[in-house]
Structure 1
Amino acid sequence: MKKGGGLLLGLNLVLSLLALATAGAAIALYWLDPRGAPETEISPATPVTGDDGTRPPPLALGDGPVELADVAAACLPAVVNISTTRTVQAGGPGGNPFFDLLRPFLGDPGPQEAQSLGSGVIVSTDGVILTNHHVVADASEIRVTLADGRELPARAVGSDPESDVAVLRLTPPDGQPLDGLTALAYGNSSDLRQGDAVLAIGNPFGVGQTVTQGIVSATGRAAMGITDYEDFIQTDAAINPGNSGGALVNLRGELVGINTAILSRTGGSHGIGFAIPSNMARPLAEALLRDGHVTRGWLGVAIQDLNPQLARSLGIPATRGVVIMDIEPTGPAATVDLRRGDVISGLDSETIRSSRQFRNLIATRGAGAEVRIRRERQGQAGEVQVSLRPRPAVQAGPPGVPTPGQPAPANATDVGGMLLAPLTDALRSQHGVSPQIASGAVVVGLRDGSPAASAGLRVGDVVTDVNGQPVDGPDRAEQLYAQSFLVAMVGIRRGVDQRIVMLRR
């Protein structure tokens, strides 16, 4: 897990997993402190089904006014408690840190066992359970307690740490029937609106099944530093340690989210909880169930959020969506009618709000999925259909960072405060420049107080174009910058990302 930087006035991100250590039954929480921060195809949005190909129908709650107690009663049998055992070193996570002080006198006690508690949701009646990766990570034994009190062993079918999703299957002893299971049907999380009522069901602090009520506070929460792929539902329904992997349900009794994390100063609920939306978890779970691992989809475009300044500079009438900054010549996007400067406004039934959301949707759809992309070009709307491919391995190093005072090579060219050098093999290696970038000029230094420094450019960025014209070296970048009026649009590559920076003259 990563740390989130500078988030909400020093609030701590807490994965809502309760870990009860065998030594002293201490409660341990996974804290993400922002103050300390410097494969297989996925079918598109297909439901998880049982071996017989059936899926649970929506619960019959009637057409009249909905009683929350009826919704809870219908959903509770599908939510389970998960207990895991894992081996830890004394003094490590799950162990007792005071052993470190006594080690010289007591000796090394060796590996110890630690237990953790979390929650899960039955999504098919043949014993398939959806939960969080962090609930079952590194577990040597998994036990599941059903709502009717039965305790059964389970095995991990597959787990995806990048999205924090895991799938389990109940494995009853030979001769013991696996019957009487209740499964939740998936709801359409994209239909959720701010203010919609939801229930959170889980096993907080190991006290037993608990239902809390709240509303959808927000959708599309990202950049939280919880997982690599984020599109969280935010809710004020109380979520506490131990709720991880539990159900977030709508008033139709449908599963719309998997409770995953909270923002908290104390480790308890402050009314800011996060759930993985069902439309994201469902295809991932299907891939894990079918193949045991996930291969994410790839479109082959570099994109950037559309903001008013960029829209004016590019002469784009649209105000929402993402702009295609570049297209990989060998990627799927190059095979259809997509161009640089197109604004992507929708993917299948989803409205695109940000580049992060679009990236998540493409990745979650998976390799081999056929997707419909709505785009706008010079005020005209259009739609294309494209088949996604597996995401290729990235051969790029970490993004560059500002390095004030670092001496630049003597032959560097000053362009708006960017000290540019030719893209040589040595600089490629030094700054981790992807071999996919054929030409450009490398930022090897920044002049203090310059337009480039103010615009957020970094050492290691590669300038690929200026005002839409390709750059093959520092001299060409200098020439195009000098021809700009007031502001130059500078295209850069930073790691695997491409963006446009507005650079004052």
Structure 2
Amino acid sequence: MVVGDEGQILTAFHVVKGARGLIVRATDRQVFEAEVIAADPRSDLAVIAPISTPGLEKPKLKPIPLGDAGALRKGSFLVVLGNPFNAARDGKASASWGILSNVSRRIDQDIDDVSFTRRAPLQLPNYPTLLQLDAKLNLGMSGGAVVNMKGELVGLTTMASSPAGFDAMAGYAIPMDRMGRRAVETLKKGKEIEYGLLGVRPHLQSTNRVETVAPNSPAALGDLQRNDEIIGVNGTPVFDFDSLILAIGAYSVGDSIRLLVRRDGQEIEKPIVLAKFPVDGEVIATTQPPAWRGLRVDYLSTLNARPAGIDLVDALPAGVVVREIEPDSPAARAGLKKWQIIRQVGDQPVVDPAQFAKAVADLNGPVTLLTDQGPIVVR
């Protein structure tokens, strides 16, 4: 579904993941090549865009307006567009219709039958986020538009709920609510979606009671304590750990939020500045922040995304982590490696990418970076 003035097309990430090439068939029998400009494995959303070809006219595509899935109610009439069984060779999507059966549904985690471990990282569809539809969804409908009676995009189909070989009478869709619209606007720009991180582990029963607070995390810096009950995020009620994850995930790294906490029978408000949630899986972002001497850094909390990452409740030291080293750059020649921790630029401590960028902005000549493996001079 077209969502941008430059022809950006929203789809489900699992539809285009790993594709060697993309061919798009649009209305008026337009056929063109496209590429993934941004994708987020946590939300299972991706945006693709037409590839400019010299001598060929740009495809004529009209974006659909985004609606607000938060305004939907059970029983709302919806239209679902898609390409079942790859039948739409003329670029005209097939339509199905039905009602919104329910909201805040989830897809069960993919659990190994022998080891009882997850086969894949948790995604937002594994939390109670999805719209449940009674519109008929067949193979090939993933990434299709869910449209309200105003012609606005309010969801993106992600999977059917019926077992293979049975009549598919229900399906699920990723909602275009506050979190969904933020994701789309970010992906349209080719940027990475950054989710907020609090830094707590819940009680064993996944309630809203805090079991562990990570040292040096936003929660620790905001004075959250073990056995605190988190009952609200910026006015949004929190009932369990799932609702806390979703409430925090609606905000980005660096955002300031207000937590309503119940402690010893008293309700208190705690201001928190969020760190960055480490997303598992392949993140695609073609619009990157500028590199400094071939070096890009990220929040320390993203260390959990590496193969042998820290636990979210392990102590987070102060500093930034090396995210990317460009080949044959000054940073590469200095011996910097991915996942190293930079604590200081010269004698100036840095705790986030913004501070690092400010610290190196006007520096010339050799610069000493204090890392977890000792000082390194970048020339």
Is the structural similarity TM-score above 0.5?
A: yes
Q: Which of these residues, 10, 33, 39, is aligned with residue 153 of structure 1?
A: 33
Deviation at 1:174, TM superposition (A): 2.8
TM-score under structure 2 length normalisation: 0.62
CA distance in 2, matches of 1:252, 1:203: 22
> Residue 241 of structure 1 contacts residue 267 of structure 1 at CA under 8 Å; is this kept in 2?
no
Query: How many residue pairs were aligned?
Result: 272
CA distance in 1, matches of 2:270, 2:243: 19
**Secondary structure, in 3 states, of the residue corresponding to 1:148?**
helix
> Residue 332 of structure 1 contacts residue 389 of structure 1 at CA under 8 Å; is this kept in 2?
yes
Query: Structure 1 residues 143, 344: CA separation in 2 closer, same or farther (over 3 Å shift)?
Result: same
- 1:390 pairs with 2:276: yes
> Residue 200 of structure 2 contacts residue 213 of structure 2 at CA under 8 Å; is this kept in 1?
yes
Deviation at 1:175, TM superposition (A): 4.7
- 1:142 pairs with 2:22: yes
Residue 229 of structure 1: aligned partner: 124
Residue 215 of structure 1: aligned partner: 99
Residue 170 of structure 1: aligned partner: 50
Aligned pairs for 1:19-418 (under 5 A) are 121-178=1-58, 180-208=60-88, 209-222=93-106, 224-225=108-109, 228-230=123-125, 231-267=129-165, 269-279=167-177, 280-304=179-203, 322-336=208-222, 338-348=224-234, 350-363=236-249, 365-377=251-263, 380-391=266-277, 392=301, 393-394=303-304
Q: In terms of Rg, which structure is larger?
A: 1
Residue 283 of structure 2: aligned partner: none
- Residue by residue over 1:455-503, the C-alpha shift from the partner in whole angstroms, topping out at 9 and shown as x without a partner, is xxxxxxxxxxxxxxxxxxxxxxxxxxxxxxxxxxxxxxxxxxxxxxxxx
**Secondary structure, in 3 states, of the residue corresponding to 1:135?**
helix
> Residue 306 of structure 1 contacts residue 322 of structure 1 at CA under 8 Å; is this kept in 2?
no
CA distance in 2, matches of 1:146, 1:349: 42
TM-score under structure 1 length normalisation: 0.48
**Secondary structure, in 3 states, of the residue corresponding to 1:330?**
coil
Deviation at 1:382, TM superposition (A): 4.7
Deviation at 1:228, TM superposition (A): 2.3
CA distance in 1, matches of 2:42, 2:257: 22
Return 5+ residue gaps in structure 2 as ranges.
111-121, 278-300, 316-379
CA distance in 2, matches of 1:181, 1:396: 39
RMSD after superposition: 3.3
Query: Structure 1 residues 285, 252: CA separation in 2 closer, same or farther (over 3 Å shift)?
Result: same
Deviation at 1:395, TM superposition (A): 9.0
Deviation at 1:130, TM superposition (A): 0.9
> Residue 306 of structure 1 contacts residue 323 of structure 1 at CA under 8 Å; is this kept in 2?
no
Deviation at 1:331, TM superposition (A): 0.9
CA distance in 2, matches of 1:170, 1:348: 39
- Residue by residue over 1:323-374, the C-alpha shift from the partner in whole angstroms, topping out at 9 and shown as x without a partner, is 2223223111223354433333333464434312422443453322333434
Percent identical among aligned pairs is 30
1:288 partner amino acid:
L
Return 5+ residue gaps in structure 1 as ranges.
1-120, 308-320, 399-431, 438-505
> Residue 240 of structure 1 contacts residue 262 of structure 1 at CA under 8 Å; is this kept in 2?
yes
2:102 partner amino acid:
A
CA distance in 1, matches of 2:234, 2:45: 23
Query: Structure 1 residues 123, 354: CA separation in 2 closer, same or farther (over 3 Å shift)?
Result: farther
CA distance in 1, matches of 2:124, 2:39: 14
Deviation at 1:122, TM superposition (A): 1.0
Deviation at 1:381, TM superposition (A): 4.5
